[in-house]
Amino acid sequence: MEVNSSNAEIRPQIVYRCKRCRRIVAAQENVVPHEQGDGERSFKWKKRGDSLEIDKKPECSSIFVEPLKWMQAVQEGSVEEKLQCLGCKARLGSFNWAGMQCSCGTWVNPAFQLHKCRIDECSN
């Protein structure tokens, strides 16, 4: 549990685990926040698309984290690669030092992306 010294409030820490083997892959403090983009208007193939879709704000399908020790491809010096769980080798996401676009439309640079459908968010 984390204690906030300004008002002595106790709140649980959020951790992210591999859905397959339950190994901890990141903590809330490792998450790199980004501003939500313009959704489908941000993607080239949809720029001339439906006007009905324009006002709909999408939810991000991934989280972006800082580079972590378990990311073997990062440690080996790769520029871009898939990210696999150390425990079960499940594909959790990917990374690219040049950046990548989030499903919400925002460009994140550098990008260490973990797909929400491959990880569980748990209170520790």
Give Cβ neighbours of residue 50 (< 8 Å, ≥ 6 apart): none
* Domain extent for 19: 2-123
For residue 79, pLDDT over 90 is answered with yes
Using alpha carbons only, give the angle 12, 29, 37 rounded to the nearest 5 degrees: 110
- CATH code for the domain of 81: 2.170.150
pTM for the whole structure: 0.78
Percent of the chain with pLDDT over 70: 76
Structure token pair of residue 70: 């378990």
| Count of structural domains, the chain | 1
Confidence of residue 11 (pLDDT cuts 50, 70, 90): low
Residue 83 has which token pair? 């990210």
Cα gap 61→83, rounded to integer Å: 16
How do residues 15-45 score in pLDDT, each as one tens digit? 999 999 999 999 999 999 998 887 666 666 5
